[in-house]
Amino acid sequence: MQHIMELPQIVIIGEGSFNKNSISHILKFKNKGLIITGPHVLKIYNREIDSSLSEFSYDTFIVNEPTYNEAERVLADIGSSNYLFVIGIGGGKTLDIAKYVGFKLNMPVLSVPTNASNDGIASPFSSLRGGKYPYSLKVKPPLGVIADISIIMKAPKGQINSGLGDLIGKITSVRDWYLGWKKNGEYYGEYASKLALESARHALASAEGIGNLQLDSVKNLLEALISAGVAGGIAGSSRPLSGSEHLITHALDVLAPGLGMHGEKVGINTVFTSYLYKLNWNKIKLSLSKAGLPVSYKELGINRNTIVKAIIMAPTLRPERYTILHQMQLSESKINEILDYLEI
Ligand SMILES: [Zn+2]
């Protein structure tokens, strides 16, 4: 059996790193590119985009929502035009569309995150709403990543610290992956698993600094998000990045769309799933609070009935992806009992 690892080739992190030289370092051809970005980001960074890409020829496509239909609309608008590369500039969802479009058209993608809200920056996955499945699709990793700290530091706090919530999820996702290997003989890669977990630990050590938006801590968070994405590339699946805590997140996306950011939901769900694994859930809750992240569903506007339904629905979304939720088959009363105990 062969195993394929696909990884980004060049990652450039630093203050002011979104510039002409960095882009030329990654992209060897200047004609002709496709920029995918959001209206808000374009408005704020119009000047930076113009000057960084002054030597390149490109068209700009604005995406308004992170949906499968929006990605397909971009593909339809492109039609038979010949582009050689895609640059995604924006938050996780814009990057998801850029990776999807690049994958469909077999073009290299340059990922330029403008926030640190999730681990999609360097990963080979694209998570789009409204598609056939409520979870991420396997695409290709970006050819290159330019993470400009000075741009990311300008993002709203919720779009920075929620990246830590997404990383905290790795504490249970790697255990779910191990369980899938033990139970169903799935491929399991110990190195990828350790790398994903180490990414979470690396960022967790800076939880307080992330909460206070300290430069060094945000840099640690970014490195951790990128290395988690690389762990997904080494694994060849989202297994090390997404387990029971993400299944509950996907169920909440279906049952309570628009409430809470991805990483915020993953963080609280991990308090629940880490309890199921008999881990130190209290420490996880404390780290969330140090980082200024919500520690209860109520803070996200999610009521008890909805979260109970989501936890029951979660394992049904991916029956083939065995997790602690598939193993335990929790009843409604047991879920309520645990939620009361954890005070989440
Ligand atoms: Zn995630």
Q: What whole-number distance in Å separates Cα of residue 186 and Cα of residue 193? A: 13
Q: What is the mean pLDDT of the chain?
A: 95
> Which residue type sits at 257?
P
Q: What whole-number distance in Å separates Cα of residue 179 and Cα of residue 323? A: 6
User: Ligand 1 centroid vs 212 CA: distance in angstroms?
Assistant: 22
Peptide bond into 32 cis (omega under 30): yes
User: Ligand 1 centroid vs 55 CA: distance in angstroms?
Assistant: 35
Tokens 């520690």 sit at which residue? 295
User: Ligand 1 centroid vs 245 CA: distance in angstroms?
Assistant: 9
User: Ligand 1 centroid vs 227 CA: distance in angstroms?
Assistant: 13
User: Ligand 1 centroid vs 252 CA: distance in angstroms?
Assistant: 13
CATH architecture classification, 10-152? 3-Layer(aba) Sandwich (3.40)
Q: What whole-number distance in Å separates Cα of residue 72 and Cα of residue 44? A: 26
For the chain, give every residue range classified as CATH 1.20.1090.10.
158-342
Q: Are 96 and 119 in contact (CB under 8 A)?
A: no
User: Ligand 1 centroid vs 18 CA: distance in angstroms?
Assistant: 25
Which tokens is 246 given? Answer: 């993400």
User: Ligand 1 centroid vs 263 CA: distance in angstroms?
Assistant: 6
pTM score of the predicted model = 0.95
Which of these CATH numbers, 3.80.30.20, 3.30.360.10, 1.20.140.10, 1.20.1090.10, describes 158-342? Answer: 1.20.1090.10
pLDDT in tens, 206-240: 999 999 999 999 999 999 999 999 999 999 999 99
Share of the chain above pLDDT 70, in %: 100
Residue 81, pLDDT score: 85
- Max Cα–Cα distance, the chain, nearest Å: 62
User: Ligand 1 centroid vs 158 CA: distance in angstroms?
Assistant: 15
**pLDDT(1) > 80:** no
Pick the closest to residue 65 from 35, 89, 87, 96 (CA basis): 96
User: Ligand 1 centroid vs 165 CA: distance in angstroms?
Assistant: 8
What are the helix (H) ranges across 149-240? 149-152, 158-168, 170-184, 190-204, 207-211, 215-235
User: Ligand 1 centroid vs 116 CA: distance in angstroms?
Assistant: 12
User: Ligand 1 centroid vs 135 CA: distance in angstroms?
Assistant: 10
Q: What whole-number distance in Å separates Cα of residue 34 and Cα of residue 23? A: 14
pLDDT in tens, 78-120: 988 889 999 999 999 999 999 999 999 999 999 999 999 999 9
Contact residues for 298 (Cβ-Cβ < 8 A; gap 6+): none
Handedness of CA 231, 235, 240, 246 (dihedral sign): positive
SS (H, E, C) 212-238: CCCHHHHHHHHHHHHHHHHHHHHHCCC
Q: Are 152 and 113 in contact (CB under 8 A)?
A: yes
pLDDT in tens, 15-48: 999 999 999 999 988 889 999 999 999 999 999 9
User: Ligand 1 centroid vs 45 CA: distance in angstroms?
Assistant: 26
User: Ligand 1 centroid vs 16 CA: distance in angstroms?
Assistant: 27
> Which residue type sits at 322?
Y
pLDDT in tens, 167-203: 999 999 999 999 999 999 999 999 999 999 999 999 9
For the chain, give every residue range classified as CATH 3.40.50.1970.
10-152
Asked which of 25-29, 154-158, 296-300 is least confident by mean pLDDT, the reply is 25-29
Under the banding of pLDDT at 50, 70 and 90, the label for residue 284 is very high
User: Ligand 1 centroid vs 177 CA: distance in angstroms?
Assistant: 15
Tokens 């409430």 sit at which residue? 259
User: Ligand 1 centroid vs 29 CA: distance in angstroms?
Assistant: 32
User: Ligand 1 centroid vs 159 CA: distance in angstroms?
Assistant: 13
Residue 28, pLDDT score: 86
User: Ligand 1 centroid vs 24 CA: distance in angstroms?
Assistant: 30
Residue 13, pLDDT score: 96
Q: Are 245 and 169 in contact (CB under 8 A)?
A: yes
User: Ligand 1 centroid vs 121 CA: distance in angstroms?
Assistant: 11
Under the banding of pLDDT at 50, 70 and 90, the label for residue 266 is very high
pLDDT in tens, 120-145: 999 999 988 877 776 788 999 999 99
User: Ligand 1 centroid vs 126 CA: distance in angstroms?
Assistant: 11
